[in-house]
Amino acid sequence: MLAQAVEEHPLSGGTGIAHTRWATHGEPSESNAHPHVSDHIVVVHNGIIENHEPLREMLQARGYVFVSATDTEVIAHLVHWELEQGGTLREAVLARDSSTTRCIRYSHHGLSRSRHAAGCPFR
């Protein structure tokens, strides 16, 4: 499946993130597969976001549309919303109730930044 997708949609660019994860929220499907994206925010994550449901509801009330049933997509939209409000990546990450490893990558106006959890293997 992955080999076919890469063949059909060749990738370009200098940076990429990928991840395999046991499905804890939502069925194993292409729409629930990582990474999850919100505009220029790309997230892979391992763990469980305990408060993902109220965060999802808050973001939906602000106009965010979810395409997956995963808790990870909440992180992508939450980071996007926080940055749009003038906040920081750190503030968005702290809004979650979890103990997780995550890798968040974003590019904006030609700048690229990453935020990793302590011990994150994505360096």
State pLDDT tens for residues 37-63: 787 788 777 777 788 899 899 999 999
| pLDDT in the model for residue 120 | 42
At 113 the three-state DSSP class reads: strand
pLDDT of residue 57: 96
Q: What pLDDT score was predicted for residue 118? A: 47
Report pLDDT for 91: 72
Q: Does pTM top 0.85 for this prediction?
A: no
Domain-wise residue ranges, the chain: 35-123
- Residue 84 token pair: 């749009």
Q: Round to whole Å and give the CA distance between 66 and 122.
A: 25
* CATH architecture observed for domain 35-123: 4-Layer Sandwich (3.60)
* Predicted local confidence at residue 12, as pLDDT: 77
Residues of the chain with pLDDT under 70: 1-2, 15-25, 27-29, 31-32, 34, 92-123
Per-position b or e across 49-86, b if 16+ CB within 10 A of its CB: beebeebbebbeeeebebebebbbbbbbbbbbbbbeee
